[in-house]
């Protein structure tokens, strides 16, 4: 597969400069210099310098089209971004427009930190139509439009077709079963096409894959009111599915995974397949340009029920404290729907959420692979689940940690189940992430 190189040309000094320069900016554009009559909007997002460079170009275009509005950009890496957001919001500040993650949506909405944009839509500052199937309502909480999806992706099986071919193993296909998936893991691990390569890692630590497994049974990880949507017996079954593989050392070991961290096992020649969001394929192509990668569907309990859905990989929200909500909504609308902005931003944040933005793109090989995959499983798509409760991030981490302890053989399955429910219920009760 053709290697698509990232640009990543923005100097580290620019990152530091933006964060330091804008640290004192308040909601509604701060400063308020008498020398200008422009409406000032502070816009914050997370991401690396490459994303910042692309976003700044889109901002420049917005300001050109809207000369009465000035955008003050502010960005940081994911963890630092949310730490800063929590501090600023708690202190009564924060940006006018903020990039939102689905796992934080309910938390921010329940605390009345993000605006219901229905009013701005009724004024014509924001268009809430034209979204790709399944994404339109993902920004709603209790009927209020508190966010607008900016991009979306779905879950998949990312794999190495060259390894499958050499091992003479059938490729992941639509409707394949969990039994076939397990047999594929075993065959690939025993083939060892690359020294010490395993078929997969222990997928029981992948919170989103368990959610799909539950959805295939008509259940879900969380109930609409934010409680766990399954019991101990389901979790016991989930953890037990890979027990024999763990015992027979047919999965990537916890020790090996720890040695590789933070590099993904799939791009490090350590596994032949990995369940993950489809847009991660771009990262792996960049990390291992000489390898072949492909995207296939996840296994399912029934051929026509994979539990898949389009998840907003990123959204945009407007702060309830913004003094310029209409101008802020106008920026949101531009970033999400403007074809010229879409051409600039590309798929850096995932596949665009609106049909108009997607149609404007000139897709590279990797992007086309993602779009083709999503089209191939469109008939398996279901409505997205409600945004997870506050504490979901803690629960997701608990799932990873407990699965790792199972692999180190520090916990039995029953102990793992009890520990997960204790930690999950504490996280939900605390209501913090």
User: What pLDDT does residue 11 have?
Assistant: 38
CA–CA gap between residue 152 and residue 132 (Å, rounded): 9
Q: Which residues contact 282 (CB under 8 A, 6 or more apart)?
A: 4, 347, 366, 367, 370
Does the pTM of the predicted model rise above 0.85? no
Which stretches of 31-77 are DSSP H helices? 49-65
- pLDDT by residue for the chain (433 residues), tens digit each? 433 333 333 333 344 344 333 333 444 444 444 456 899 999 999 998 989 999 999 999 999 999 999 999 999 998 899 999 999 999 999 999 999 999 899 989 989 999 999 999 999 999 999 999 889 899 999 999 999 999 999 999 999 999 999 999 999 999 999 999 999 999 999 999 999 999 999 999 999 999 999 999 999 999 988 999 999 999 999 999 999 999 999 999 999 998 998 889 999 999 999 999 998 998 899 899 999 999 999 999 999 999 999 999 999 999 999 999 999 999 999 999 999 999 999 998 989 999 999 999 999 999 999 999 999 999 999 999 989 998 888 899 999 999 999 999 999 999 999 999 999 999 999 875 4
Confidence (pLDDT) at 35: 53
Q: Omega of the bond prior to 265 within 30 degrees of 0, cis?
A: no
> Residue 94 has what pLDDT?
95
Note the pLDDT of residue 407.
93
Q: Are strands 97-100 and 311-318 parallel, antiparallel or unpaired?
A: antiparallel
**For residues 42 and 325, what is the distance between their CA atoms, to the nearest angstrom?**
11
What domains lie within the chain, and their CATH numbers?
Answer: 12-17+38-152+311-375 (3.40.190.10), 155-309+383-430 (3.40.190.10)
Q: How much is the pLDDT for 13?
A: 32
Q: How far apart are CA 148 and CA 151, in angstroms?
A: 9
Tokens, residue 4: 């698509």
Q: What is the pLDDT of residue 271?
A: 98
Helix (H, G, I), strand (E, B) or coil at 366: helix
Helix (H) or strand (E) holding 293: none
Burial of 362 (0-12, 13-18, 19+ CB in 10 A): exposed
Query: What was the pLDDT predicted at 219?
Result: 95
Strand arrangement of the beta sheet that strand 69-76 belongs to: 69-76, 39-46, 97-100, 311-318, 148-153, 351-352
Angle in degrees, 0-180, between the axes of helices 413-430 and 392-407, rounded to the nearest 10: 160
């Amino acid at each position: 597969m053709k290697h698509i190189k990232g640009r990543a040309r923005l100097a580290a000094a620019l990152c530091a400069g933006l964060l330091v320069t804008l640290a004192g900016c308040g909601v509604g554009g701060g400063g308020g210099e008498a020398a200008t009559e422009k409406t000032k909007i502070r816009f914050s997002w997370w991401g690396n310098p490459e994303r910042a460079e692309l976003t700044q170009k889109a901002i420049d275009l917005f300001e050109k089209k809207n000369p009465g509005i000035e955008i003050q950009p502010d960005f940081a890496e994911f963890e630092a971004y949310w730490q800063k957001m929590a501090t600023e919001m708690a202190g009564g500040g924060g940006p006018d427009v903020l990039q939102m993650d689905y796992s934080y949506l309910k938390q921010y909405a329940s605390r009345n930190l993000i605006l219901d944009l229905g009013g701005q839509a009724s004024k014509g500052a924001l268009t809430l139509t034209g979204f790709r199937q399944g994404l339109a309502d993902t920004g709603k909480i209790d009927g209020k439009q508190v966010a607008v999806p900016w991009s979306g992706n779905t879950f998949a099986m990312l794999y190495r077709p060259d390894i499958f071919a050499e091992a003479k193993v059938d490729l992941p296909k639509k409707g394949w079963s969990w039994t076939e998936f397990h047999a594929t893991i075993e065959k690939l691990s025993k083939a060892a096409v690359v020294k010490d390569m395993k078929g997969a890692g222990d997928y029981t630590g992948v919170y989103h894959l368990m959610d799909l497994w539950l959805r295939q049974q008509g259940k879900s990880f969380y109930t609409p009111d934010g409680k766990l949507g399954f019991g101990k017996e389901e979790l016991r079954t989930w953890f037990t599915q890979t027990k024999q593989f763990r015992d027979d050392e047919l999965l990537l070991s916890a020790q090996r995974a720890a040695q590789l961290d933070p590099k993904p096992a799939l791009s490090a020649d350590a596994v032949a397949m990995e369940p993950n969001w489809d847009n991660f394929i771009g990262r792996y192509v960049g990390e291992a340009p000489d390898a072949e990668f492909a995207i296939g569907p996840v296994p399912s309990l029934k051929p026509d029920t994979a539990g898949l859905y389009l998840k907003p990989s990123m959204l945009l929200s407007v702060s309830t404290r913004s003094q310029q909500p209409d101008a802020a909504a106008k920026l949101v609308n531009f970033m999400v729907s403007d074809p010229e902005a879409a051409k600039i931003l590309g798929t850096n944040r995932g596949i665009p959420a609106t049909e108009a933005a997607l149609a404007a793109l000139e897709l590279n090989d990797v992007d086309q692979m993602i779009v083709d995959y999503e089209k191939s499983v469109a008939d398996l798509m279901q409505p997205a689940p409600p945004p997870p409760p506050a504490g979901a991030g803690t629960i997701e981490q608990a799932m990873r940690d407990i699965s790792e302890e199972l692999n180190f053989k520090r916990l039995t399955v029953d102990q793992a189940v009890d520990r997960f429910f204790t930690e999950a219920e504490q996280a939900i009760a605390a209501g913090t992430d």
